[in-house]
Structure 1
Amino acid sequence: MMTNLFSTFDPSSSILNLSLNWMSSMLGILIIPAMFWIIPSRVHLIYSSVILTLHKEFKTLLGPSVHPGSTLIFISLFSFIMFNNFLGLFPYIFTSTSHLAFTLILSLPLWVSFMVYGWLNHTQHMFSHLVPQGTPGILMPFMVCIETISNIIRPSTLAVRLTANMIAGHLLMSLLGNTGPSMSILMVNILIITQILLLTLEMAVSIIQSYVFAILSTLYSSEVI
């Protein structure tokens, strides 16, 4: 029974107190074997071109001193989030990226690893980031506090941004869909067209939000190198 508006996004099926809804996050793995055919398909060619474009962009952001293969983790992150965002658009498939528990698991370990690596290996460089260049001496203590707070909240802002954008469109589509049975035939037709347009918008949002998550993670990592 739905107790509030957001409970429609909560896990609802379980066996032996184990939530089966989170297994939807692994459904993207079923798409991978199609990539290993000798003759590439159109999907394989499109995906390969997307990966190559992302590799070039991430490599530019990381700078010339980047180690070979450093962009792989961010490309994998983009692909994983995009698969989960798209799977959430299908009926009766749990949208894992609309939960902070899932998005924080993605952002928090990345941020912690960046901070540990930066403070252990480039301590002076990390301290220099706390005071932007050209800051007046009287404002330096305040800038250190502001930069420290903005640095600490980075994983939560990454997680909340992805969660809020994914849950907003799904919530709007759920609200419009629940009003369908009480509408006339004409209004139902208009509602169907509106839902199709919203679904198209959500497909674009799924790609954009996974790209934003990967790009910001790349920018955060480039600051500690």
Structure 2
Amino acid sequence: MSKENLSESAHFRMLRLFISLNRIQDEGASPRYTSGELAELIGSSAELIRKDLNILGCRADGRGYKALSLQNGLREKLYLMKNLRAGMAGLDSWGSILIRESEGFQGIRICAAFDGSQNRLERTETRVALYPSYEIREVFEREKIRIGILASETALPEKNMMRMLEGGAKGIINLTSCPLIVPEEIFYYQADLSLGFYSMASRINGSEHKNPVEPEQRK
């Protein structure tokens, strides 16, 4: 069996589990885990973990799951055996941060970055190849880039997305607040960090405004 048998929520659970097992291996540990202990790693339930792993064909040996064996099994079943080439549009905002950490991502390798500002292209220091935005389609096609990352709202996300798709991109990661409509066959994921930051600030400020701390309580 493979990930095609998993629901979207189960797929994300197994990806979170895979990431957690990677961290454990990085720390030099290779213990065994029960389904309950695996569930605690990602804030899920033992029943769901057993069900998901059974669908993927990853089974315990009677004494639990060995971390290293399970990690390798998930890598194979979730098709994470190789990184995919990615191209990123926008070197301001999140792009300027991501480009500095371009070699540390899991599952992808950023091999090209694009921006509409020639000045920004000239000032950015990175090992990643840099190009003007109008070359997105050509570079994606030539370098066989399959994942497009939209990292700036000022870099025309919709226009750059279309350039990426025309160049052969199969998936789009949208880090902007701009809502995008993508073709049904394209894989799409949006992680709007700005919205997350504003949401957290609004909620905390709002709760403190509704329940102000009296001067004597602060002492």
What TM-score bracket applies, with the shorter chain setting the length? under 0.3
Q: Answer 1 or 2: which has greater strand percent.
A: 2
Q: TM-score, normalised by structure 2?
A: 0.26
**Higher RCO structure (Cα 8 Å, ≥6 apart):** 1
Q: Answer 1 or 2: which has greater helix percent.
A: 1
